[in-house]
Amino acid sequence: MKFWIGAALCAVGLTAMALSGINEYVFFAGFVVLQSIVLATAWNILGGYAGYVNFGVPAFVAMGAYSSLFVFKAFNAPLVVQILAGASVSGLLGLGVGLLTLRLRGIFFSISTVALIFILEAVINNWRYLGAATGVQITRPATWGPFESYTRMLFVVMALMSIVAIAIARYIQDSHIGRGLRAVRDSEEAAECSGVPTLQLKLIACGVSGALLGAAGAPMPMYLSYIEPASSFNLSYAIAALAMPIIGGMAHWVGPLIGALLLATIQQVVTVTISSELNVLVVGGLLVLFVVLAPEGLVGLYRKWKTSSK
């Protein structure tokens, strides 16, 4: 109950913010931070709970973005339909990746997800209708509702999406699915022998994780009014989605949330004040630091501190 009250307060607060007269740039940057929350939370459902490291986040995000572009171009579909299209296509891609887990674990699984990025990028690069390598310029439709600008509206949409993502992650964590996935992470053979339906659970995790990643990518064409393959399939999505849950802590749904808020905010500040190269360096540096010194993340550090102070 406490969770839902908090979620509702966040939703109301962020919507009120979008309706107020705060500088437009706050929402432009805020959208990226909120998107990071969705990406980190979605990644963690597979990576954190089940222990399958997905490097292919850019593939899912870009498929979401390009599905959204496709339905917009072909049927002039509204934003909600675009997001549903992105979520379905990336969800299906996730199920495909889930089938790979039948044979592949560890680094083999991770490398095969990297392969998805480059194969799909080559496909888009050769797909004229979707702008091929040069990309497509988009004219945004009129803003819906009481919002002053399209960016403000997307900000609220992304806020709702992160609440949905966190609610899903929380549900999975506390239900039989989460328990099963943790068993898979600790020992897949033992889980299988104890009657855990490993394949079914992995497929659920891959599908849900993929769908959320796709949904987070779907508003991208509208957000930038422009889309092209090189930045859509950028590997920095992969490192960010990996670093945020690890820094926050992968065992609990709150970890990715904290990690994303912290890291994405730092990234936005560094990008604006110093340079975008340095922001990747900060992400990589923090990732390596946490993996070596505090593999349980901030949540783990907090737990340790709490038990030692008792």
Partner 1 sequence: MIFSFDLLFEAILFGILLGCFYAAVSLGLSVAFGLLDVPYVAHPAVLILGSYGTFWLNDHLGIDPLLSGIMLMPVFYALGVMLYRFYHASFESRGGDASVNGLAFFFGLAFIIEVLLIIVFGVDQRSAHADYIGESLEIGEIRLPYRLLVAFGVALLLTYVLTLFFSKTFVGRAIKAVGQDEMALRLMGANPTQIKQMAFGIATAVNALAGAMLIIVSPVEPSMDRIYIGRTFCVVVLAGLGSMSGTLVAGLLLGIVESIVLTLFGASWAPAVAFGMLLILLGLRPQGLFGR
Instruction: Write out the residues near partner 1 by the rule CB under 8 A.
Output: 47, 51, 53, 55, 100, 103-104, 106-108, 110-112, 114-119, 121-123, 125-126, 133, 185, 235, 238-239, 242-243, 246, 250, 277-278, 280-281, 283-285, 287-288, 291-292, 295
Question: Which among 33, 30, 97 has a CA at the least distance from the CA of 63?
Answer: 97
Q: Which is nearer to partner 1, 18 or 287 (CB)?
A: 287
The residue count of the chain comes to 310
Q: How far is the CB of 103 from partner 1 (least distance, A)?
A: 6
Q: Which is nearer to partner 1, 16 or 107 (CB)?
A: 107
The residue (of 30 and 47) whose beta carbon lies closer to partner 1 is: 47
Shorter beta-carbon distance to partner 1: residue 6 or 285:
285
CB count in 10 Å sphere of residue 50: 27
Backbone conformation region of residue 128, classed left if phi is above 0, alpha if psi is from -120 to 50, else beta: alpha
Closest contact distance (angstroms) between CB of 117 and partner 1 is 8
Nearer to partner 1, 54 or 67 (CB): 54
CA atoms within 13 A on the CB side of 234: 11
Nearest residue (CB) to partner 1, 114 versus 261: 114
In whole angstroms, the minimum distance from the beta carbon of 171 to partner 1 comes to 23
Taking the C-alpha atoms of residue 291 and residue 190, their distance in angstroms, rounded to an integer, is 26
Least Å distance between CB 184 and partner 1?
13
How many angstroms separate the CA atoms of 41 and 245, rounded? 7
- Extract the tokens encoding 284: 């990589």
Shortest distance (Å) from residue 243 CB to partner 1: 7
Residue nearer to partner 1 on the CB measure, 9 or 107: 107
d(CA 253, CA 41): 7
Find how far residue 234's CA is from the centre of its chain.
Answer: 14
Listed residue (94, 33, 2, 51) closest to 251, CA to CA = 51
Residue of 216, 218, 222, 206 lying closest to 240 (CA atoms): 216
Query: What are the residue ranges of helices labelled H in 101-235?
Result: 106-125, 150-174, 176-186, 188-193, 198-217, 220-224, 229-232
Q: Taken in order 278, 120, 86, 114, is the CA torsion positive or negative? A: negative
CB of 296 to partner 1, least distance (A): 10
Q: Which is nearer to partner 1, 61 or 215 (CB)?
A: 61
Strand bridging mode 136-137 / 226-227: antiparallel
Least CB distance to partner 1 at residue 216 (A):
20
Shortest reach from residue 219's CB to partner 1, in Å:
26
